[in-house]
Amino acid sequence: MPELPEVEVILRGLKPHLLNQKIIKTGSSNKKLRYPLETELINTNIVNKTVTSITRRAKYILITFDSKVSLVIHLGMTGNLGFFPQITPKSKHDHFWCKLDNTQELRYNDVRRFGSIRFTPTANIETIETTLLKDLGPEPLGHDFNGNLLKKKSKSKKLAVKNFIMDNRIVVGVGNIYANESLFLAGIKPNRPVNKINKAEWQRLASTIKDVLNHAIECGGSTINDFVNASQQSGYFQMNFKVYGKENSLCSNCDSPIKQIKIGGRASFYCSICQS
């Protein structure tokens, strides 16, 4: 489900419900996520504590408490966070929940369990080994992500540009959908080797990635199967897909059919006329 825009939309949905709230109880399904859930550790450290901030780094959601500890949550492919009245029965794939000091409950639901919830002290959270945040590249919407950076990091590499921009060490938050969409709008074929891309193209690609992600956030994210934000509403950016999932549809720009190939095992869509 979630690439950066979806995570950002969920984050914004969580804030009004969760900020400054106290946790009074936690629970879990005891099913293993990407990593085993440290239920006891989490419980003893966040019960009766208050949420002081909710932030995002890459596709990770960081919930921090007044006890100077944080939950680092990744949604994987099918994870979601939402609020429900405590009396609402749990759903089949609810794996972790926090009761608030009111009638509400934060629930983590994840069909495929590729997501993760990790507990860590907040101090130096961006650099310590255990948080998975330590080797991440720049945020795509920040000032330090630009064409010059892409050009510099691509030097002497030959991999496909689509794999390059989906590498978290280069830039974070660009997943399969938005990689395909950004490359179409920048006019660059997804399988082009990065050492064949010039400076002007890198600049165009960097600015296109920012535009696409910002636009998707404004639209409330994409709906593919099961994406809903924390208030359980669907996004509608998928209405704007130009190439993703559109094999054999006609290009919105030139009317030639959209092609599909596999790059690095992932479905890749492009227009052979508009992208080179």
| Residues contributing to the site for DNA (CB under 7 A) | 1-3, 6, 32, 34, 58-59, 74, 76-78, 92-93, 111-114, 132, 157-160, 163, 166, 168, 175-177, 222-227, 264-267
Known catalytic membership, residue 2 = yes
Specify whether the CB–CB gap between 244 and 182 falls below 8 A.
Answer: no
Q: Where are the alpha helices (DSSP H) in the chain?
A: 4-18, 39-46, 147-154, 161-165, 176-186, 199-218
Q: How far is the CB of 25 from DNA (least distance, A)?
A: 26
Other residues' Cβ atoms within 10 Å of the Cβ of residue 152: 9
DSSP-derived secondary structure letter, 38? -
d(CA 161, CA 147): 13
Specify whether the CB–CB gap between 205 and 186 falls below 8 A.
Answer: yes
Known catalytic membership, residue 59 = yes
Q: How far is the CB of 185 from DNA (least distance, A)?
A: 17
Closer CB to DNA, 42 or 172, in the complex: 172
Q: Which of 6, 8, 57, 59 is catalytic?
A: 59
Closer CB to DNA, 25 or 113, in the complex: 113
* Cα 68 to the center of its chain, rounded Å: 25
Closer CB to DNA, 146 or 238, in the complex: 238
Known catalytic membership, residue 6 = no
Q: How far is the CB of 272 from DNA (least distance, A)?
A: 19
DSSP-derived secondary structure letter, 31? -
Q: How far is the CB of 159 from DNA (least distance, A)?
A: 4
Known catalytic membership, residue 196 = no
Catalytic residue positions, numbered: 2-3, 59, 266
